Each structure stands twice: as structure tokens, then as C-alpha cells.
Structure 1
Amino acid sequence: MPPFLSPTQEAGRAFVTRGLAGPITMLNLLRFREVADYSASPDLAPAAPITGEEAFRRYIVHTLPFVSRSGGEVQFLGNGGAFLIGPETERWDLVMLIRQASVQSFLAFAEDRDYLAGLGHRTAALVDSRLLPLTELPIPA
């Protein structure tokens, strides 16, 4: 299976037209490169090679102010690993949950030019990822 690092136009269109109302939580599953690959963003490359994990740490530091400014918050950041239930060959290094007030606030964040200027750290860091928009349901009584 090819890696997934950014949404396709079709997936983006489906997300926007899905009609999600209210807050959304973005489930991020992330797998790091051993060594970050800054070939697509040489202007962001550090002087010496770094790990994918370190490049992603730089992405988070860059990104947090934009998440906050758009009304979002990181709800969970944690180490991943192998699944308890799932494919034995599939693992994720990091799991992140980011809550946004709405689809519109997420899009405002994702389209911010200053945020996009640091997106190369994410690209350099990751070998594969998944992003799943979630909406909350009431818990049955």
C-alpha cells in the first residue's frame, strides 16, 4: 500500500461536503522516517541530519500557535506501537487527537499561509500517516 501523507482532492471535497456540524476531533496516526527527508523543503532542513521524530517535534512546535489561534487544541499526544486488535505488521509511532470547533475552523487553520510555511517539517518526518475526522456522539444511557 502506498504511503498517505496528504489528502487527495477527492478526500478533501468529501470532507467539506460531508456536512459535519459542531466540533470535530482529528485522529492522527503517524509513522516516522528513521532520518528526516527535507528534500522537498531544503529551506527548513537543519544543518545536520535529524530523525523523523525530531522533525515532527519541530512541526508540532511550529504548529501549536496556529492550532490555538484557530480555536483548536491538542487533546492527546502519545506513543503508538503495535495494535492489540489489528494487523500484526501495522504500527504507528505517534497518535494525536486535535479538536477543532468546526470544519470551518479546521480549514482556516489548514489554509493559514504562516502555518503552511512549516509544513515541510511534517513531510520530512513522516513515512506514512492517517487522518480521520471524528464527530462526537452521545453515550447511550
Structure 2
Amino acid sequence: MPAPTAYLDPTVDAGKLFVARAFTGSLVMLNLLRFKVTADYSKTPELAPNRRISGAEAFDLYIRHTLPFLTESGGDLFFLGAGGPFLIGPAAERWDMAMLVRQASVASFLAFARDDGYLAGLGHRTAALEDSRLLPLSETAIPW
């Protein structure tokens, strides 16, 4: 049986669909994150700490690196929470953490995602994650 597909980066097609959605105003990014037991810095050894660390610890390094670039771009990390078993959902599926990030606009998100300073620390995320999901959300008015 082949190993399940891990989703760590957007595909070109997904990026095109994201832009084509033509969000107006702010958007929220729902992140579901599954960490590696031990962080794997083989793709970015220059970022590796001087000792072995967990995927969760590597993701903490990613967050610490990322926050200044996120806030400078008009973004806000407004929720970070520990995961666990689903109340509704597949019993075998697990997510270690959920994160909600608000961006002022698609343009500010894209500027953040292309920032060379931000990209310099992206290897912490890659080292940390076994799998992830990223769902862009637009606010909907509550009809009552």
C-alpha cells in the first residue's frame, strides 16, 4: 500500500484557484497541522538547531520567525490551539494543532508569502510538518 500523500505546499493549480476566488476584504486561513516526531532539517541544514528537536519545537521556531513578517504585512495570528481526536470526523485522523491567521487582503497575504525575510525561515515549517491543510475562508454575514 503506498504511503498517504502529505500536503505541505500549495500546488500551482491550487494557487490559481485561490486567486480566482477574488476575495474582497480580509480573509482567514485555517491551518491544520500534524508534526513529525523529530524535526527533519535535511533540506535546510543551515537552520537546524545544534540538537535534535521535535516537529512541534521546530514549528515554534517557525512561528517566532514568522510573526514579525506576518504583522508587518497586515496579518494577525489570532488563534493557536492544541489538537486531538475529532468529535465529528474520522477516528484515525489526527491534527496536532489548529491555527487561524487573518490577513487584510489577498494582496497582503501574497506579499507576505513572497517576502524574502519570511522565506528565509520557511525551512523550520518544512522540518516540522508531517502533513497540513490550509483552507482560506471569507467571512459570511450571519443572516439573523
TM-score tier by shorter-chain length is over 0.9
Q: Give, in whole Å, the separation in 1 of the partners of 2:110 and 2:68.
A: 15
SS of match in other structure, 1:28: strand
Within the candidate set 66, 74, 82, 1:63 is matched to: 66
Which residue is equivalent to 1:13?
16
Which residue is equivalent to 2:114?
111
Within the candidate set 98, 115, 120, 1:95 is matched to: 98
Q: Which amino acid aligns with 1:50?
A: I
Structure 1 stretch displaced more, 119-128 or 8-17: 8-17
Q: Which amino acid aligns with 1:29?
A: L
Q: Give, in whole Å, the separation in 1 of the partners of 2:40 and 2:82.
A: 21
Question: For this pair of structures, how many residues does the alignment match?
Answer: 141
Shift of 1:18: 1.3
Shift of 1:20: 1.0
Normalised TM-score (structure 1): 0.99
**1:43 has 2:46 as partner:** yes
Q: Give, in whole Å, the separation in 1 of the partners of 2:29 and 2:109.
A: 9
Q: Give, in whole Å, the separation in 1 of the partners of 2:116 and 2:20.
A: 23
**1:32 has 2:35 as partner:** yes
SS of match in other structure, 2:66: helix
Q: For residues 4-61 of structure 1, give each alpha carbon's deviation from its aligned partner in whole angstroms, at most 9, with x where no partner exists.
A: 0000011011101111111000000000000000001000001110000000000000
**1:73 has 2:76 as partner:** yes
SS of match in other structure, 1:76: strand
Q: Which amino acid aligns with 1:40?
A: K
Q: Give, in whole Å, the separation in 2 of the partners of 1:85 and 1:129.
A: 19
Q: For residues 113-133 of structure 1, give each alpha carbon's deviation from its aligned partner in whole angstroms, at most 9, with x where no partner exists.
A: 010000000000000000000
Q: Give, in whole Å, the separation in 2 of the partners of 1:81 and 1:37.
A: 23
